[in-house]
């Protein structure tokens, strides 16, 4: 038990003694845990039978399409009305392809292509894949306007830095995925784009006037609501001009005042994961759960590796909040009824919207790499380097720590070579040596006469990467620097900026470097 949970008093004890059955069921309906393993644990199956409202699946829970379908079937057998959610954004953040890298382009590239029909089709393909494996909600699209190029957690997950562009593609993504019977969940309300901290690890502060939020952050969420988004996810950021004490997830002013009253959203409000420091750093997860429900959240994402004992403490904390009047019974019932209504509606849509044969038989979707390559930013140095057409290269891979949302999924050309090592571009890639550079390693010394390819993500955010690139550029003129993240506005550390690092983007990059003839 953590110190925060111990300090929560009644939150440390499971529900015991006579408790109204409806109240107990309402509490459980609002909870969405994760779990360890690739099969449904017995404790989780029991809670689903007792009314647990949802389960969230992560990369660690998935081995194959068949295994995932068996898992979701087991969840549904325990509770046919359970929401089965997954964090599948169709790009760098992927759960379906956590072991191989995503075959989708990702939001920043979709924003740069700026074809809303294409964005809608990409989202539709994500939806069909999720329907095939039995998931009912995806925590996507990312509707944040990435106005801060130093953002460590959004970046290429965003459609762009322009509110209007982001809004167009957010709405298209919502329409596309929901046409398949899978609910979209735009995030992270009211906007995580103007931050330089990761709310997994801290509480970011967005200290801007409400007028700025209305002109920038809220625009894509308005578009998502107009497009019919069934759910919206909160963010654990502090907006002191609206609520100087509580992060958005725990703020009645943000959730009730902005999202419900001003924007008119009537669907399910989902909390971002409550085990993140931005939400539970001082309250503990049980305390944050009770506070989030009181603030207006309907469905609580609890984390990735929950246990029966943790759920006991969370349920007890919510019950204690009801008994002490900090959470009204009516608010709890409202939240639970919204979750049940969402689940029932999605079940009915699944009966009415049939999966196409192509979605049932295809191993994974296929997208034309030419559109992806055309979206890259390419400078004069890159054009000279490409024109030289070297038979092989020295690859310097810049290793930085991925944010928790992306996790350890393979990325870029490294994932493409892993999946298809025999392809022509992969063979070119593997012909030369590979060096890994990190903050802990010494600067590499590439051999003379073989061009150097430096590849990283968000190069400008990492001082050691900037120093390394500066050093190599000083020593030689055959260096090509690629940034597969969100580059700085001046592109100082990106001769080629791909604005994404999915496996599909990696394939497009390899084909640019070594055209198939």
- Residue 200 known to be catalytic: yes
Please give the helix or strand (H or E) that residue 300 lies within, else none.
strand 299-301
User: Measured between alpha carbons, how far is 496 from 493 in angstroms, rounded to an integer?
Assistant: 9
User: Measured between alpha carbons, how far is 178 from 174 in angstroms, rounded to an integer?
Assistant: 6
User: Measured between alpha carbons, how far is 250 from 247 in angstroms, rounded to an integer?
Assistant: 5
User: Measured between alpha carbons, how far is 86 from 102 in angstroms, rounded to an integer?
Assistant: 14
Work out the angle between the directed axes of helices 284-295 and 308-323 (0-180°, nearest 10). Answer: 50
Q: CB within 8 A of 43, min separation 6: which ones?
A: 307, 308
Q: What CA dihedral angle connects 455, 459, 462 and 468, to 10 degrees?
A: 60
Closest residue by Cα to residue 117 from 171, 189, 47, 192: 171
Query: 201 burial class (0-12, 13-18, 19+ CB within 10 angstroms)?
Result: middle
SS3 letters for 78-146?
HCCCCEEEECCCCCCCCCCCCCCCCCCCCHHHHHHHCCHHHHHHHHHHHHHHHHHHCCCEECCCECCCC
Structural contact between residues 454 and 479, judged by C-beta atoms closer than 8 angstroms: yes
DSSP characters for 26-78?
A: HHHHTEE---SSSS--HHHHHHHHTT--EEEE-GGG-S-HHHHHHHHHHHHHH
Q: State phi, psi for 89 to the nearest 5 degrees.
A: -90, -15
CA distances from 96 to 133, 338, 373, 414, 502 (A): 9, 27, 24, 18, 13
Tell me what percent of the chain is helix, strand and coil, each rounded to the nearest 5.
45, 10, 45
Q: Which of 200, 236, 460, 462 is flagged as catalytic?
A: 200
Structural contact between residues 435 and 446, judged by C-beta atoms closer than 8 angstroms: yes
Sign of the alpha-carbon torsion through 116, 118, 120, 126: negative
DSSP strand E in 346-495: where? 377-378, 394-398, 434-437, 452-456, 479-483
- Residue 272 known to be catalytic: yes
User: Measured between alpha carbons, how far is 480 from 433 in angstroms, rounded to an integer?
Assistant: 15
What are the structure tokens assigned to 251, written together?
A: 């703020």
User: Measured between alpha carbons, how far is 264 from 226 in angstroms, rounded to an integer?
Assistant: 10
Sign of the alpha-carbon torsion through 372, 377, 383, 388: negative
Q: Which of 92, 243, 272, 478 is flagged as catalytic?
A: 272
CA distances from 28 to 2, 253, 374 (A): 22, 25, 48
Mind telling me the catalytic residues? 200, 272
């Amino acid at each position: 038990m953590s110190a925060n949970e111990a300090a929560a008093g009644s939150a440390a004890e499971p529900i015991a003694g006579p408790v109204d059955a409806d109240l107990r069921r309402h509490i459980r309906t609002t909870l969405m845990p994760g779990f360890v393993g690739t099969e449904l644990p017995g404790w989780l199956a029991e809670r689903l039978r007792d009314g647990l409202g949802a389960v969230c699946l992560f990369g660690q829970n998935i081995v194959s399409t068949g295994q995932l379908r068996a898992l979701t079937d087991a969840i549904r057998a325990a509770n046919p009305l359970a929401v089965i959610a997954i964090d599948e954004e169709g790009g760098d953040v992927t759960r379906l392809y956590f072991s191989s890298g995503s075959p989708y382009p990702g939001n920043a590239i979709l924003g740069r292509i700026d074809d809303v029909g294409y964005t809608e089709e990409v989202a539709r393909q994500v939806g069909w894949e999720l329907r095939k494996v039995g998931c009912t909600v995806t925590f996507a699209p990312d509707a944040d306007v990435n106005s801060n190029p130093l953002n460590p957690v959004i970046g290429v997950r965003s459609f762009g830095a322009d509110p209007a562009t982001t809004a167009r593609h957010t709405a298209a993504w919502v329409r596309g995925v929901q046409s398949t019977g899978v609910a979209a969940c735009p995030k992270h309300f009211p906007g995580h784009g103007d931050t330089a901290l990761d709310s997994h690890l801290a509480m970011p502060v967005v200290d801007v006037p409400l007028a700025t939020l209305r002109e920038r952050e809220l625009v894509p969420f308005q578009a998502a609501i107009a497009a019919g988004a069934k759910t919206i996810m909160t963010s654990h950021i502090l907006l002191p001009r609206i609520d100087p004490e509580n992060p958005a997830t725990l703020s009645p002013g943000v959730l009730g005042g902005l999202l419900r009253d001003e924007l008119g959203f009537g669907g399910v409000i989902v909390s971002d994961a409550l085990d993140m420091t931005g939400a539970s750093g001082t309250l503990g997860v049980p305390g944050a759960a009770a506070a989030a429900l009181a603030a207006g959240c309907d469905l609580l994402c609890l984390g990735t590796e929950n246990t029966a004992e943790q759920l006991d403490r969370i349920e007890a904390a919510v019950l204690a909040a009801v008994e002490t009047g900090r959470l009204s019974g009516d608010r709890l019932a409202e939240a639970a009824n919204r979750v049940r209504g969402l689940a029932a509606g999605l079940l009915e849509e699944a009966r009415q919207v049939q999966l196409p044969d192509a979605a049932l038989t295809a191993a994974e979707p296929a997208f034309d790499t030419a559109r992806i390559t055309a979206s890259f930013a390419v400078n004069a140095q890159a054009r000279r380097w490409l024109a030289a057409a070297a038979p092989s290269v020295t690859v310097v891979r810049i290793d930085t720590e991925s944010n928790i949302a992306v996790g350890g999924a393979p990325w870029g050309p490294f994932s493409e070579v892993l999946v298809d090592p025999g392809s022509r571009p992969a063979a070119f890639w593997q012909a030369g040596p590979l060096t890994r550079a990190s903050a802990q390693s010494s600067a590499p010394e590439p051999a003379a006469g073989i061009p150097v390819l430096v590849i990283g993500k968000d190069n400008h955010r990492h001082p050691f990467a900037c120093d390394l690139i500066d050093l190599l550029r000083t020593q030689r003129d055959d260096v090509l620097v690629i940034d597969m993240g969100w580059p700085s506005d001046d592109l100082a550390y990106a001769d080629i900026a791909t604005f994404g690092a999915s496996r599909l983007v990696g394939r497009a990059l390899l084909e640019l470097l070594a055209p198939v003839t």
